[in-house]
Structure 1
Amino acid sequence: MEATLPGPGPQWRPSAVVFDCDGVLMDTERAWKDVQARVAGTFGVEIPERTAIELMGLSATDVAEHIAARAQDTAGRDGRSAPGFETVYRSLVDTEADVVGSVLEPLPGAVETVKAVARHVPVAVASNSTSTILDRKMHAVGLADTLRTWVSAEDVPRGKPAPDIYREAVRRLGVAPEDALAVEDSPAGTTAAVAAGLWVLGAPHGHDEPLASHYLVGSLADPAVAELLRGWDMPL
Protein backbone atom coordinates (compact mmCIF):
# COMPACT_ATOMS: atom_id res chain seq x y z
CA MET A 1 0.00 0.00 0.00
CA GLU A 2 0.97 3.61 -0.50
CA ALA A 3 -0.13 6.87 1.07
CA THR A 4 -3.34 8.01 -0.60
CA LEU A 5 -3.19 11.76 0.09
CA PRO A 6 -0.57 14.34 -0.93
CA GLY A 7 1.73 15.31 1.93
CA PRO A 8 2.44 18.79 3.26
CA GLY A 9 5.76 19.24 1.51
CA PRO A 10 9.41 18.64 2.41
CA GLN A 11 9.76 21.66 4.71
CA TRP A 12 6.89 20.71 6.99
CA ARG A 13 7.65 19.45 10.50
CA PRO A 14 5.06 18.49 13.14
CA SER A 15 4.69 20.81 16.12
CA ALA A 16 2.80 18.05 17.98
CA VAL A 17 1.98 14.39 17.44
CA VAL A 18 -1.21 12.59 18.41
CA PHE A 19 -1.08 8.78 18.51
CA ASP A 20 -4.00 6.41 18.31
CA CYS A 21 -3.76 3.67 20.94
CA ASP A 22 -5.23 0.32 19.84
CA GLY A 23 -3.38 -1.13 16.88
CA VAL A 24 -0.72 1.62 16.97
CA LEU A 25 0.68 1.53 20.50
CA MET A 26 -0.89 -1.70 21.76
CA ASP A 27 -2.04 -4.96 20.18
CA THR A 28 -5.51 -4.81 21.73
CA GLU A 29 -7.64 -4.71 18.58
CA ARG A 30 -7.96 -8.48 18.40
CA ALA A 31 -9.07 -8.49 22.03
CA TRP A 32 -11.62 -5.73 21.29
CA LYS A 33 -12.90 -7.77 18.34
CA ASP A 34 -13.33 -10.74 20.69
CA VAL A 35 -15.19 -8.52 23.17
CA GLN A 36 -17.61 -7.41 20.45
CA ALA A 37 -18.26 -10.99 19.29
CA ARG A 38 -18.72 -12.24 22.85
CA VAL A 39 -21.19 -9.53 23.81
CA ALA A 40 -23.07 -9.78 20.51
CA GLY A 41 -23.43 -13.55 20.99
CA THR A 42 -24.89 -12.96 24.46
CA PHE A 43 -27.73 -11.06 22.80
CA GLY A 44 -28.21 -13.47 19.90
CA VAL A 45 -26.32 -11.42 17.33
CA GLU A 46 -23.57 -12.62 15.00
CA ILE A 47 -20.91 -10.25 13.67
CA PRO A 48 -19.70 -11.38 10.23
CA GLU A 49 -16.06 -10.77 9.36
CA ARG A 50 -16.96 -7.95 6.96
CA THR A 51 -18.93 -6.20 9.70
CA ALA A 52 -16.12 -6.76 12.21
CA ILE A 53 -13.77 -4.92 9.85
CA GLU A 54 -16.24 -2.05 9.55
CA LEU A 55 -16.52 -1.85 13.35
CA MET A 56 -12.75 -1.77 13.81
CA GLY A 57 -11.67 1.42 15.53
CA LEU A 58 -15.20 2.50 16.47
CA SER A 59 -16.15 3.48 20.01
CA ALA A 60 -18.07 1.33 22.48
CA THR A 61 -21.04 3.65 21.95
CA ASP A 62 -21.11 3.01 18.20
CA VAL A 63 -20.58 -0.74 18.60
CA ALA A 64 -23.31 -0.93 21.26
CA GLU A 65 -25.72 0.90 18.96
CA HIS A 66 -24.96 -1.61 16.19
CA ILE A 67 -25.44 -4.67 18.42
CA ALA A 68 -28.60 -3.27 20.04
CA ALA A 69 -30.13 -2.56 16.62
CA ARG A 70 -29.31 -6.05 15.34
CA ALA A 71 -30.64 -7.59 18.57
CA GLN A 72 -33.85 -5.63 18.09
CA ASP A 73 -34.21 -7.04 14.57
CA THR A 74 -33.58 -10.59 15.76
CA ALA A 75 -35.94 -10.28 18.71
CA GLY A 76 -38.67 -8.93 16.47
CA ARG A 77 -38.47 -12.01 14.25
CA ASP A 78 -38.33 -14.42 17.20
CA GLY A 79 -40.92 -12.68 19.36
CA ARG A 80 -38.41 -12.11 22.18
CA SER A 81 -37.64 -8.93 24.08
CA ALA A 82 -34.46 -7.13 22.99
CA PRO A 83 -31.85 -5.45 25.20
CA GLY A 84 -31.68 -1.67 25.13
CA PHE A 85 -28.61 0.36 24.24
CA GLU A 86 -27.60 0.93 27.87
CA THR A 87 -27.64 -2.81 28.62
CA VAL A 88 -25.46 -3.60 25.61
CA TYR A 89 -23.11 -0.69 26.29
CA ARG A 90 -22.56 -1.71 29.92
CA SER A 91 -21.91 -5.29 28.85
CA LEU A 92 -19.32 -4.09 26.33
CA VAL A 93 -17.53 -1.88 28.84
CA ASP A 94 -17.48 -4.53 31.56
CA THR A 95 -16.31 -7.27 29.18
CA GLU A 96 -13.66 -4.98 27.71
CA ALA A 97 -12.28 -4.31 31.19
CA ASP A 98 -11.88 -8.06 31.72
CA VAL A 99 -10.54 -9.04 28.29
CA VAL A 100 -8.49 -6.06 27.18
CA GLY A 101 -7.09 -5.59 30.65
CA SER A 102 -5.23 -8.88 30.31
CA VAL A 103 -3.31 -7.92 27.14
CA LEU A 104 -1.79 -4.56 28.02
CA GLU A 105 1.52 -4.90 26.20
CA PRO A 106 3.03 -2.30 23.85
CA LEU A 107 3.63 -3.10 20.20
CA PRO A 108 7.24 -3.20 18.95
CA GLY A 109 8.64 0.28 18.43
CA ALA A 110 5.71 2.01 20.11
CA VAL A 111 7.22 3.19 23.38
CA GLU A 112 10.53 4.11 21.76
CA THR A 113 8.81 6.18 19.08
CA VAL A 114 6.53 8.04 21.48
CA LYS A 115 9.41 8.88 23.81
CA ALA A 116 11.66 10.00 20.95
CA VAL A 117 8.97 12.35 19.62
CA ALA A 118 8.13 13.63 23.10
CA ARG A 119 11.71 14.85 23.54
CA HIS A 120 11.02 17.43 20.81
CA VAL A 121 7.29 18.22 20.65
CA PRO A 122 4.22 17.67 22.85
CA VAL A 123 2.56 14.29 22.41
CA ALA A 124 -0.97 13.05 23.08
CA VAL A 125 -3.05 9.92 22.60
CA ALA A 126 -6.53 10.04 21.05
CA SER A 127 -8.52 6.84 21.48
CA ASN A 128 -12.06 5.54 21.17
CA SER A 129 -11.52 3.67 24.43
CA THR A 130 -13.51 4.62 27.50
CA SER A 131 -11.66 6.90 29.91
CA THR A 132 -11.11 4.22 32.56
CA ILE A 133 -9.68 1.71 30.09
CA LEU A 134 -7.51 4.36 28.41
CA ASP A 135 -6.05 5.43 31.76
CA ARG A 136 -5.16 1.81 32.48
CA LYS A 137 -3.54 1.41 29.08
CA MET A 138 -1.36 4.51 29.34
CA HIS A 139 -0.08 3.56 32.78
CA ALA A 140 0.38 -0.11 31.84
CA VAL A 141 2.74 0.68 28.94
CA GLY A 142 4.66 3.30 30.91
CA LEU A 143 3.66 6.33 28.84
CA ALA A 144 1.57 8.23 31.36
CA ASP A 145 4.47 10.50 32.32
CA THR A 146 5.59 10.99 28.72
CA LEU A 147 2.30 12.16 27.25
CA ARG A 148 1.01 15.70 27.64
CA THR A 149 -2.57 14.38 27.64
CA TRP A 150 -4.83 11.62 26.41
CA VAL A 151 -8.37 11.93 25.09
CA SER A 152 -10.99 9.18 25.28
CA ALA A 153 -14.32 8.79 23.51
CA GLU A 154 -16.02 9.84 26.75
CA ASP A 155 -14.27 13.23 26.68
CA VAL A 156 -16.01 14.41 23.49
CA PRO A 157 -19.52 14.34 22.01
CA ARG A 158 -18.65 11.83 19.26
CA GLY A 159 -15.96 9.20 18.84
CA LYS A 160 -14.04 8.41 15.69
CA PRO A 161 -14.72 8.59 12.73
CA ALA A 162 -16.03 11.99 13.83
CA PRO A 163 -13.20 14.54 14.22
CA ASP A 164 -14.03 15.50 17.83
CA ILE A 165 -11.28 13.49 19.56
CA TYR A 166 -8.53 14.93 17.39
CA ARG A 167 -9.88 18.46 17.68
CA GLU A 168 -9.84 18.13 21.45
CA ALA A 169 -6.34 16.63 21.45
CA VAL A 170 -4.77 19.49 19.48
CA ARG A 171 -6.73 22.01 21.55
CA ARG A 172 -5.18 20.58 24.71
CA LEU A 173 -1.75 20.57 23.11
CA GLY A 174 -2.14 24.21 22.07
CA VAL A 175 -1.37 23.72 18.37
CA ALA A 176 -3.29 24.27 15.16
CA PRO A 177 -4.52 21.06 13.49
CA GLU A 178 -2.45 21.72 10.37
CA ASP A 179 0.69 21.78 12.52
CA ALA A 180 0.01 18.36 14.05
CA LEU A 181 0.54 14.77 12.92
CA ALA A 182 -1.85 11.93 13.73
CA VAL A 183 -0.63 8.31 13.78
CA GLU A 184 -3.43 5.89 12.95
CA ASP A 185 -4.08 2.31 11.85
CA SER A 186 -7.80 2.19 11.02
CA PRO A 187 -10.10 3.80 8.46
CA ALA A 188 -12.23 5.25 11.27
CA GLY A 189 -9.17 6.86 12.84
CA THR A 190 -7.68 8.27 9.66
CA THR A 191 -11.08 9.64 8.65
CA ALA A 192 -11.35 11.40 12.01
CA ALA A 193 -7.86 12.88 11.83
CA VAL A 194 -8.22 14.12 8.26
CA ALA A 195 -11.59 15.67 9.07
CA ALA A 196 -10.01 17.45 12.03
CA GLY A 197 -7.35 18.93 9.75
CA LEU A 198 -4.29 16.96 10.90
CA TRP A 199 -1.70 15.37 8.67
CA VAL A 200 -1.84 11.58 8.99
CA LEU A 201 0.80 8.88 9.25
CA GLY A 202 -0.87 5.56 8.52
CA ALA A 203 0.57 2.58 10.41
CA PRO A 204 -1.79 -0.30 9.59
CA HIS A 205 0.19 -3.03 11.38
CA GLY A 206 -0.96 -5.82 9.08
CA HIS A 207 -4.39 -4.47 8.14
CA ASP A 208 -5.05 -4.30 4.41
CA GLU A 209 -7.92 -1.82 4.55
CA PRO A 210 -7.24 1.37 2.55
CA LEU A 211 -6.22 4.26 4.78
CA ALA A 212 -6.61 7.96 4.00
CA SER A 213 -3.05 8.97 4.91
CA HIS A 214 -0.37 11.46 3.90
CA TYR A 215 2.49 9.18 5.00
CA LEU A 216 2.48 5.41 5.35
CA VAL A 217 4.61 2.90 7.28
CA GLY A 218 3.99 -0.72 8.16
CA SER A 219 3.99 -0.10 11.92
CA LEU A 220 6.00 1.88 14.45
CA ALA A 221 8.66 -0.83 14.20
CA ASP A 222 9.11 -0.09 10.47
CA PRO A 223 12.58 1.38 9.70
CA ALA A 224 10.76 4.04 7.67
CA VAL A 225 9.63 5.57 10.97
CA ALA A 226 13.22 6.31 11.97
CA GLU A 227 13.81 7.85 8.56
CA LEU A 228 10.79 10.14 8.92
CA LEU A 229 11.83 11.18 12.41
CA ARG A 230 15.35 11.99 11.27
CA GLY A 231 13.90 14.18 8.55
CA TRP A 232 11.94 16.03 11.22
CA ASP A 233 15.00 16.35 13.51
CA MET A 234 13.51 13.85 15.98
CA PRO A 235 15.98 10.95 15.91
CA LEU A 236 15.12 7.73 17.76
Structure 2
Amino acid sequence: MVDAVIFDLDGVLVDSEPVWERVRRRYVDARGGRWQADTQHRLMGMSTGEWSRYLHDELGVPEPPERIAADVIGEMADEYARQLPLIDTAAEVVRRLARRWPLGLASSSPRRLIEVALEATALTDVFRATLSTEEVARGKPAPDAYLAVAERMGVPAGRCVAVEDSTNGVRAAAAAGMRVVAVPRRSYPLTPDAEQLAAVILTDITELTEETVPPARSPRIVEISRGRMVVDGIGEGKDFKLYPGGGRPWDWTETGTRHDPGIQPADVTELLGNGATRVVLAEGFDGQLRVDPATVRFLEERGVEVHVARTDRAVELYNSLAVREAVGALIHSTC
Protein backbone atom coordinates (compact mmCIF):
# COMPACT_ATOMS: atom_id res chain seq x y z
CA MET A 1 0.00 0.00 0.00
CA VAL A 2 1.33 3.45 -0.94
CA ASP A 3 0.65 6.29 1.52
CA ALA A 4 2.43 9.14 -0.29
CA VAL A 5 4.26 10.07 -3.50
CA ILE A 6 7.35 12.30 -3.34
CA PHE A 7 8.56 14.12 -6.44
CA ASP A 8 11.91 15.50 -7.44
CA LEU A 9 11.73 18.89 -9.16
CA ASP A 10 14.64 19.32 -11.57
CA GLY A 11 14.27 17.02 -14.56
CA VAL A 12 10.86 15.75 -13.44
CA LEU A 13 8.65 18.85 -13.32
CA VAL A 14 11.07 21.43 -14.71
CA ASP A 15 13.56 20.72 -17.51
CA SER A 16 16.21 22.61 -15.61
CA GLU A 17 19.24 20.33 -15.87
CA PRO A 18 20.34 21.82 -19.24
CA VAL A 19 19.93 25.29 -17.72
CA TRP A 20 21.99 24.36 -14.65
CA GLU A 21 24.68 22.91 -16.91
CA ARG A 22 24.77 25.98 -19.14
CA VAL A 23 24.90 28.44 -16.24
CA ARG A 24 27.48 26.58 -14.15
CA ARG A 25 29.67 25.74 -17.13
CA ARG A 26 29.67 29.37 -18.26
CA TYR A 27 30.51 30.44 -14.71
CA VAL A 28 33.42 27.99 -14.42
CA ASP A 29 34.82 28.86 -17.83
CA ALA A 30 34.63 32.61 -17.17
CA ARG A 31 36.74 32.22 -14.02
CA GLY A 32 39.44 29.99 -15.45
CA GLY A 33 38.08 26.73 -14.06
CA ARG A 34 38.20 23.29 -15.68
CA TRP A 35 34.79 21.88 -16.65
CA GLN A 36 35.04 18.10 -17.21
CA ALA A 37 33.03 15.80 -19.47
CA ASP A 38 31.32 14.15 -16.48
CA THR A 39 30.89 17.26 -14.35
CA GLN A 40 27.15 17.68 -14.85
CA HIS A 41 26.46 14.03 -13.95
CA ARG A 42 28.51 14.44 -10.78
CA LEU A 43 26.70 17.63 -9.79
CA MET A 44 23.17 16.29 -10.28
CA GLY A 45 21.55 15.81 -6.89
CA MET A 46 24.18 17.69 -4.89
CA SER A 47 22.99 20.31 -2.43
CA THR A 48 23.93 23.95 -2.96
CA GLY A 49 26.74 23.72 -0.43
CA GLU A 50 28.08 20.57 -2.03
CA TRP A 51 28.13 21.72 -5.65
CA SER A 52 29.53 25.15 -4.82
CA ARG A 53 32.40 23.50 -2.90
CA TYR A 54 32.91 21.12 -5.84
CA LEU A 55 33.25 24.03 -8.27
CA HIS A 56 35.82 25.61 -5.95
CA ASP A 57 37.76 22.51 -4.83
CA GLU A 58 37.63 20.30 -7.92
CA LEU A 59 37.06 22.62 -10.88
CA GLY A 60 39.36 25.42 -9.81
CA VAL A 61 36.95 28.35 -9.44
CA PRO A 62 38.84 30.82 -7.21
CA GLU A 63 35.81 32.44 -5.54
CA PRO A 64 34.77 31.00 -2.15
CA PRO A 65 31.85 28.53 -2.22
CA GLU A 66 29.41 30.99 -0.64
CA ARG A 67 30.06 33.52 -3.41
CA ILE A 68 29.87 30.82 -6.09
CA ALA A 69 26.47 29.69 -4.81
CA ALA A 70 25.07 33.22 -4.66
CA ASP A 71 26.32 34.07 -8.16
CA VAL A 72 25.06 30.89 -9.82
CA ILE A 73 21.67 30.94 -8.10
CA GLY A 74 21.28 34.58 -9.14
CA GLU A 75 21.97 33.66 -12.75
CA MET A 76 19.52 30.75 -12.52
CA ALA A 77 16.83 33.08 -11.17
CA ASP A 78 17.44 35.39 -14.13
CA GLU A 79 17.10 32.45 -16.53
CA TYR A 80 13.84 31.40 -14.85
CA ALA A 81 12.54 34.96 -15.04
CA ARG A 82 13.12 34.97 -18.79
CA GLN A 83 11.58 31.55 -19.33
CA LEU A 84 10.83 28.77 -16.88
CA PRO A 85 11.53 25.47 -18.70
CA LEU A 86 8.41 23.59 -17.62
CA ILE A 87 8.02 20.00 -18.76
CA ASP A 88 4.82 19.68 -20.77
CA THR A 89 1.89 18.15 -18.84
CA ALA A 90 3.97 17.63 -15.68
CA ALA A 91 1.72 19.90 -13.63
CA GLU A 92 -1.34 18.00 -14.86
CA VAL A 93 0.24 14.71 -13.78
CA VAL A 94 0.96 16.12 -10.32
CA ARG A 95 -2.59 17.35 -9.84
CA ARG A 96 -4.02 14.02 -10.99
CA LEU A 97 -1.93 12.04 -8.51
CA ALA A 98 -2.77 14.55 -5.76
CA ARG A 99 -6.38 13.43 -5.99
CA ARG A 100 -5.25 9.96 -4.89
CA TRP A 101 -2.24 10.47 -2.59
CA PRO A 102 -0.66 13.22 -0.47
CA LEU A 103 2.38 14.59 -2.30
CA GLY A 104 5.81 15.78 -1.20
CA LEU A 105 8.75 17.39 -2.98
CA ALA A 106 12.46 16.64 -2.34
CA SER A 107 14.64 18.86 -4.52
CA SER A 108 18.31 19.68 -4.87
CA SER A 109 17.38 23.18 -5.99
CA PRO A 110 17.74 26.02 -3.48
CA ARG A 111 14.53 27.09 -1.78
CA ARG A 112 14.45 30.32 -3.80
CA LEU A 113 14.19 28.44 -7.11
CA ILE A 114 11.75 25.84 -5.77
CA GLU A 115 9.33 28.62 -4.83
CA VAL A 116 9.67 30.28 -8.24
CA ALA A 117 8.90 27.00 -10.03
CA LEU A 118 5.93 26.08 -7.83
CA GLU A 119 4.40 29.55 -8.07
CA ALA A 120 4.75 29.53 -11.87
CA THR A 121 2.96 26.18 -12.09
CA ALA A 122 0.35 26.99 -9.40
CA LEU A 123 1.47 23.88 -7.51
CA THR A 124 2.52 25.50 -4.24
CA ASP A 125 -0.55 24.29 -2.35
CA VAL A 126 -0.61 20.85 -3.98
CA PHE A 127 2.44 19.59 -2.07
CA ARG A 128 1.96 18.80 1.59
CA ALA A 129 5.69 19.16 2.28
CA THR A 130 8.56 20.58 0.23
CA LEU A 131 12.26 20.51 0.99
CA SER A 132 15.55 21.67 -0.48
CA THR A 133 18.69 19.65 0.15
CA GLU A 134 20.05 22.92 1.57
CA GLU A 135 17.91 22.09 4.61
CA VAL A 136 19.46 18.68 5.39
CA ALA A 137 22.99 17.53 6.16
CA ARG A 138 23.66 15.74 2.87
CA GLY A 139 22.42 16.05 -0.68
CA LYS A 140 21.55 13.21 -3.02
CA PRO A 141 22.61 10.36 -3.36
CA ALA A 142 22.32 10.35 0.45
CA PRO A 143 18.73 9.61 1.56
CA ASP A 144 18.45 12.62 3.90
CA ALA A 145 16.06 14.70 1.80
CA TYR A 146 13.61 11.87 1.15
CA LEU A 147 13.65 10.74 4.77
CA ALA A 148 13.03 14.30 5.95
CA VAL A 149 10.07 14.84 3.60
CA ALA A 150 8.49 11.55 4.65
CA GLU A 151 8.92 12.55 8.30
CA ARG A 152 7.35 15.95 7.71
CA MET A 153 4.39 14.25 6.05
CA GLY A 154 4.05 11.77 8.91
CA VAL A 155 4.40 8.78 6.58
CA PRO A 156 6.89 5.90 6.94
CA ALA A 157 9.50 6.13 4.19
CA GLY A 158 8.84 2.53 3.22
CA ARG A 159 5.27 3.43 2.32
CA CYS A 160 6.30 6.20 -0.08
CA VAL A 161 7.03 6.11 -3.80
CA ALA A 162 9.57 8.56 -5.22
CA VAL A 163 9.59 10.02 -8.73
CA GLU A 164 13.11 10.79 -9.95
CA ASP A 165 15.05 11.44 -13.14
CA SER A 166 18.72 11.25 -12.18
CA THR A 167 21.09 8.52 -11.07
CA ASN A 168 21.87 10.23 -7.76
CA GLY A 169 18.18 10.90 -7.15
CA VAL A 170 17.25 7.25 -7.73
CA ARG A 171 20.06 6.18 -5.40
CA ALA A 172 18.84 8.60 -2.71
CA ALA A 173 15.22 7.47 -2.78
CA ALA A 174 16.17 3.79 -2.84
CA ALA A 175 18.53 4.33 0.11
CA ALA A 176 15.58 5.86 1.99
CA GLY A 177 13.70 2.58 1.51
CA MET A 178 11.27 3.88 -1.11
CA ARG A 179 10.14 2.35 -4.37
CA VAL A 180 11.33 4.54 -7.22
CA VAL A 181 9.70 5.53 -10.49
CA ALA A 182 12.46 6.79 -12.78
CA VAL A 183 11.78 9.16 -15.66
CA PRO A 184 15.30 9.77 -17.00
CA ARG A 185 16.04 12.51 -19.50
CA ARG A 186 17.67 11.38 -22.75
CA SER A 187 20.59 13.73 -22.22
CA TYR A 188 21.32 12.28 -18.76
CA PRO A 189 20.63 8.51 -18.83
CA LEU A 190 20.69 6.41 -15.68
CA THR A 191 23.75 4.37 -14.83
CA PRO A 192 23.23 0.57 -14.81
CA ASP A 193 23.14 0.41 -11.00
CA ALA A 194 20.43 3.09 -10.85
CA GLU A 195 18.38 1.23 -13.45
CA GLN A 196 18.45 -1.81 -11.17
CA LEU A 197 17.26 0.29 -8.21
CA ALA A 198 14.23 1.67 -10.04
CA ALA A 199 11.01 -0.30 -9.70
CA VAL A 200 9.57 1.34 -12.83
CA ILE A 201 11.30 3.21 -15.66
CA LEU A 202 9.15 5.50 -17.81
CA THR A 203 10.11 7.33 -20.98
CA ASP A 204 7.88 10.34 -20.32
CA ILE A 205 6.15 11.90 -17.29
CA THR A 206 2.78 11.50 -19.06
CA GLU A 207 3.12 7.75 -18.46
CA LEU A 208 2.93 8.33 -14.69
CA THR A 209 -0.60 7.38 -13.67
CA GLU A 210 -2.31 5.74 -10.72
CA GLU A 211 -1.80 2.43 -12.49
CA THR A 212 1.96 2.87 -13.05
CA VAL A 213 2.71 3.93 -9.46
CA PRO A 214 4.14 0.72 -7.97
CA PRO A 215 3.15 -0.65 -4.57
CA ALA A 216 5.18 0.44 -1.57
CA ARG A 217 8.52 -1.26 -1.01
CA SER A 218 8.73 -4.29 1.26
CA PRO A 219 10.98 -3.54 4.27
CA ARG A 220 14.60 -4.67 4.04
CA ILE A 221 15.98 -7.26 6.43
CA VAL A 222 19.00 -5.47 7.89
CA GLU A 223 20.44 -8.28 10.03
CA ILE A 224 19.82 -12.00 10.34
CA SER A 225 21.34 -14.56 12.69
CA ARG A 226 20.06 -17.66 14.43
CA GLY A 227 17.12 -16.58 16.57
CA ARG A 228 17.38 -12.86 15.75
CA MET A 229 16.34 -10.54 12.90
CA VAL A 230 16.35 -6.77 12.46
CA VAL A 231 13.90 -5.37 9.91
CA ASP A 232 14.20 -1.81 8.65
CA GLY A 233 11.45 0.38 10.09
CA ILE A 234 9.93 -2.46 12.15
CA GLY A 235 12.55 -3.53 14.63
CA GLU A 236 14.02 -6.67 16.14
CA GLY A 237 12.45 -10.08 16.56
CA LYS A 238 12.71 -13.78 15.79
CA ASP A 239 10.14 -14.47 13.04
CA PHE A 240 8.46 -11.97 10.73
CA LYS A 241 5.67 -11.58 8.20
CA LEU A 242 6.80 -9.00 5.61
CA TYR A 243 4.90 -7.45 2.70
CA PRO A 244 4.79 -4.27 0.57
CA GLY A 245 4.80 -1.26 2.85
CA GLY A 246 5.29 -3.07 6.14
CA GLY A 247 5.26 -6.20 8.22
CA ARG A 248 4.97 -7.52 11.76
CA PRO A 249 6.24 -10.28 14.04
CA TRP A 250 5.00 -13.71 12.99
CA ASP A 251 3.40 -15.74 15.76
CA TRP A 252 2.84 -19.34 14.61
CA THR A 253 0.18 -19.91 17.26
CA GLU A 254 -2.19 -17.58 15.42
CA THR A 255 -2.88 -20.33 12.89
CA GLY A 256 -1.67 -23.38 14.81
CA THR A 257 1.31 -23.83 12.49
CA ARG A 258 3.90 -26.46 13.42
CA HIS A 259 7.14 -27.61 11.82
CA ASP A 260 5.23 -30.41 10.12
CA PRO A 261 3.16 -30.11 7.92
CA GLY A 262 4.56 -26.57 8.05
CA ILE A 263 3.45 -23.21 6.66
CA GLN A 264 -0.29 -23.20 5.91
CA PRO A 265 -2.45 -21.20 3.51
CA ALA A 266 -3.75 -19.20 6.48
CA ASP A 267 -0.20 -18.00 7.15
CA VAL A 268 0.18 -16.37 3.72
CA THR A 269 -3.21 -14.74 3.18
CA GLU A 270 -2.07 -11.56 4.96
CA LEU A 271 0.81 -11.23 2.50
CA LEU A 272 -1.58 -11.33 -0.45
CA GLY A 273 -3.96 -8.94 1.27
CA ASN A 274 -1.14 -6.41 1.40
CA GLY A 275 -0.37 -6.65 -2.29
CA ALA A 276 2.38 -9.29 -2.53
CA THR A 277 2.63 -10.86 -5.99
CA ARG A 278 5.71 -12.95 -5.16
CA VAL A 279 6.26 -14.79 -1.90
CA VAL A 280 9.41 -16.08 -0.22
CA LEU A 281 8.99 -18.77 2.44
CA ALA A 282 11.94 -19.54 4.73
CA GLU A 283 12.40 -23.09 6.01
CA GLY A 284 14.71 -22.12 8.88
CA PHE A 285 18.50 -22.30 8.91
CA ASP A 286 18.42 -26.11 9.17
CA GLY A 287 15.42 -26.67 6.93
CA GLN A 288 13.19 -28.03 9.69
CA LEU A 289 10.18 -25.83 8.93
CA ARG A 290 8.26 -27.41 6.09
CA VAL A 291 5.88 -25.79 3.64
CA ASP A 292 2.55 -27.56 3.26
CA PRO A 293 2.01 -28.43 -0.44
CA ALA A 294 -1.48 -26.99 -0.07
CA THR A 295 0.13 -23.59 0.57
CA VAL A 296 2.13 -23.74 -2.64
CA ARG A 297 -1.01 -24.70 -4.57
CA PHE A 298 -2.98 -21.93 -2.88
CA LEU A 299 -0.44 -19.33 -4.02
CA GLU A 300 0.09 -20.70 -7.51
CA GLU A 301 -3.66 -20.85 -8.16
CA ARG A 302 -3.72 -17.11 -7.48
CA GLY A 303 -0.87 -16.40 -9.87
CA VAL A 304 1.67 -15.79 -7.11
CA GLU A 305 5.24 -16.94 -7.73
CA VAL A 306 6.56 -18.92 -4.74
CA HIS A 307 10.17 -19.30 -3.57
CA VAL A 308 11.00 -21.79 -0.82
CA ALA A 309 14.52 -21.79 0.63
CA ARG A 310 16.50 -22.10 3.81
CA THR A 311 16.62 -18.91 5.81
CA ASP A 312 19.99 -17.53 4.73
CA ARG A 313 19.15 -17.92 1.04
CA ALA A 314 15.54 -16.79 1.58
CA VAL A 315 16.68 -13.52 3.18
CA GLU A 316 19.13 -12.84 0.35
CA LEU A 317 16.45 -13.51 -2.25
CA TYR A 318 13.79 -11.49 -0.46
CA ASN A 319 16.04 -8.41 -0.09
CA SER A 320 16.99 -8.51 -3.76
CA LEU A 321 13.35 -8.82 -4.87
CA ALA A 322 12.16 -6.07 -2.51
CA VAL A 323 13.95 -3.40 -4.55
CA ARG A 324 11.70 -3.84 -7.59
CA GLU A 325 8.98 -6.39 -6.80
CA ALA A 326 5.84 -6.49 -4.66
CA VAL A 327 7.25 -9.31 -2.53
CA GLY A 328 6.01 -10.82 0.70
CA ALA A 329 7.82 -13.23 3.01
CA LEU A 330 7.55 -15.46 6.04
CA ILE A 331 11.00 -15.56 7.64
CA HIS A 332 11.85 -18.04 10.40
CA SER A 333 15.21 -17.36 12.08
CA THR A 334 15.85 -20.62 13.94
CA CYS A 335 15.97 -24.36 13.15
Q: Same fold (TM over 0.5)?
A: yes
Q: How far does the alpha carbon of each residue in 1:92-139 deviate from its partner, in whole angstroms, 9 at most, with x for none?
A: 222222124433243123112211111121101110111111111111
Equivalent-residue separation in structure 1 for 2:201 and 2:77 (angstroms): 31
Greater shift after overlay, 56-65 or 27-36? 56-65
SS of 1:148's equivalent in the other structure is strand
1:37 correspondence with 2:25: yes
1:199 aligns with one of 179, 185, 192: 179
After the TM superposition, which residues 209-228 of structure 1 pair with which residues of structure 2 at under 5 Å, given as runs?
209-210=190-191, 211=194, 212-222=197-207, 225=209, 227-228=211-212
Q: How far does the alpha carbon of each residue in 1:56-91 deviate from its partner, in whole angstroms, 9 at most, with x for none?
A: 23232222111101355x8xxxxxxx3222222222
1:208 correspondence with 2:193: no
* Structure 2: runs of 5+ lacking an equivalent: 217-335
Q: Could you say which structure has the higher strand fraction?
A: 2
Equivalent-residue separation in structure 2 for 1:25 and 1:130 (angstroms): 15
* Structure 1: runs of 5+ lacking an equivalent: 1-12, 75-81
Greater shift after overlay, 115-124 or 99-108? 99-108
Correspondence for 2:34: 46
Runs of 4 or more above 6 Å deviation: none
2:106 aligns with one of 121, 126, 135: 126
Return the structure number with greater relative CO, CA threshold 8 A, min gap 6: 1
In the alignment, is the contact (CA less than 8 A) between 2:165 and 2:184 conserved in 1?
yes
In the alignment, is the contact (CA less than 8 A) between 1:124 and 1:148 conserved in 2?
yes
Equivalent-residue separation in structure 2 for 1:184 and 1:130 (angstroms): 17
- Cα root mean square deviation, aligned: 2.2
1:226 Cα offset (Å): 5.8
2:132 aligns with one of 139, 152, 158: 152
1:170 Cα offset (Å): 0.5
1:190 correspondence with 2:170: yes
1:48 Cα offset (Å): 2.3
Whose Rg is larger? 2
Q: Residue 109 and residue 231 in structure 1: after superposition, are their counterparts in 2 closer, same or farther (change >3 A)? A: farther
Q: Could you say which structure has the higher helix fraction?
A: 1
Q: Residue 84 and residue 148 in structure 1: after superposition, are their counterparts in 2 closer, same or farther (change >3 A)? A: same
Q: How far does the alpha carbon of each residue in 1:3-47 deviate from its partner, in whole angstroms, 9 at most, with x for none?
A: xxxxxxxxxx32100000010011111101111102212321131
TM-score (norm 2): 0.59
SS of 1:49's equivalent in the other structure is coil
Q: Residue 125 and residue 231 in structure 1: after superposition, are their counterparts in 2 closer, same or farther (change >3 A)? A: closer
SS of 1:150's equivalent in the other structure is strand
1:154 Cα offset (Å): 2.1
Identity value in percent: 30
1:96 correspondence with 2:63: no
Q: Residue 202 and residue 230 in structure 1: after superposition, are their counterparts in 2 closer, same or farther (change >3 A)? A: closer
1:172 aligns with one of 152, 156, 170: 152
For these two proteins, the number of residue pairs brought into alignment is 211
In the alignment, is the contact (CA less than 8 A) between 1:71 and 1:83 conserved in 2?
no
SS of 1:125's equivalent in the other structure is strand
Equivalent-residue separation in structure 2 for 1:225 and 1:121 (angstroms): 12
Equivalent-residue separation in structure 1 for 2:74 and 2:173 (angstroms): 28
